Amino acid sequence: LHHDLGALGSAVSADATTRQLRIMKSMGVNAVRTSHNPPSPQFLRACEELGIMLQVEAFDMWHMSKTTYDYGRFFDAESSTDIREMVRAARNSPSVVMWSIGNEVYDVGSASGVPIARRLIDDVRSVDTTRPVVMGSHLYRSVPAAGSPQDQILRMLDGLGVNYNTASSVDQLHARYPTKFFFEGESSSSTSTRGYYQDPEQLNTGENYTPGKRNTSSYDNNLER
C-alpha cells in the first residue's frame, strides 16, 4: 500500500487512512506492506485498531537509481540513519510483524549489493532483533546460482517477498533454501482496477497471465516518472 491518499496526496489524514484500510479490510485484507516508505503514526494506529498486520518497508531503490531524482541520490549518506529511525519509530506497534530493507532494488543483481544488504540488515537488528528481516524482489524467478549476489543476499535474510513469481519457482526456491520463508510480495498490480475483480474460476495459468483486458486506474499512472 503506497503512502499517498489519491487526490489528497502525501499529507497525512487519519480519517482518510482509516477509511482506506477499512475498505481494504472489507475486501478480506489482513496484512499490508508499506511500499516503500515508513508509515505515519496515524497509519500504525489505524492498523492496530483494525487488526491489520504490517510489513514495514524502507526503500524502493538503494545506490542504483530508478529515476533521475529518486532516493538513490541520498542512499549512501542517509540510508543507515533512515532505516534505523524507521524501525525505532514503529517497533513498539503490535501490528508490525516484519521489516523490509527494500523492494525490487537493482543492486541485488550486483556484487556491490551484498555489502549494502548486510549493512541494512545490521542496521535493522541494531534497533530490533525480535522480528524477521526480509526484502521484496523480482529477481528470484529462478533459483540463483550458488555464490551469486542473489544467493548471498537471500542467505542473509530471514525471508523473501517474491514479486510476480510462479508457484513452481517458489517451490524450487524453498527446496534450495529450506530455512527461509517465502511469500507473494507483489502481484498483478498492473492488471487491477477499482471495483473489478477476477472470479475465482478464472485460473491464473502462469506468470503475469491475466485473462481479458489489462485494466488500471491509478490517478498518477502517467505522472509517476
Grid coordinates in use for 215?
A: 485494466
Active site residue: 48, 49, 78, 104, which one?
Answer: 104
Interaxial angle between packed helices 75-90 and 113-127, expressed in degrees from 0 to 180 and rounded to the nearest 10: 30
Grid coordinates in use for 101?
A: 530493507
Task: State yes or no: is 104 an active-site residue.
Answer: yes
- Give the burial class of 2: count Cβ atoms within 10 A of its Cβ; 0-12 exposed, 13-18 middle, 19 or more buried: middle
Q: Which of 142, 134, 133 is nearest to 164 (CA)?
A: 142
Calculate ∠ Cα 185-186-190, nearest 5°: 175
Active site residue: 184, 186, 201, 224, which one?
Answer: 186
- The Cα 156–Cα 118 span in angstroms is 7
Question: How far, rounded to the nearest angstrom, does the alpha carbon of residue 101 sit from its chain's CA centroid?
Answer: 9
Q: Which of 69, 72, 50 is nearest to 61 (CA)?
A: 72
Cell 494506529 locates to 45
- The Cα 9–Cα 205 span in angstroms is 36
Task: State yes or no: is 201 an active-site residue.
Answer: no
In the chain, alpha helices (H):
14-26, 41-50, 75-90, 113-127, 149-156, 167-176
Question: Which residues form the catalytic set?
Answer: 104, 186
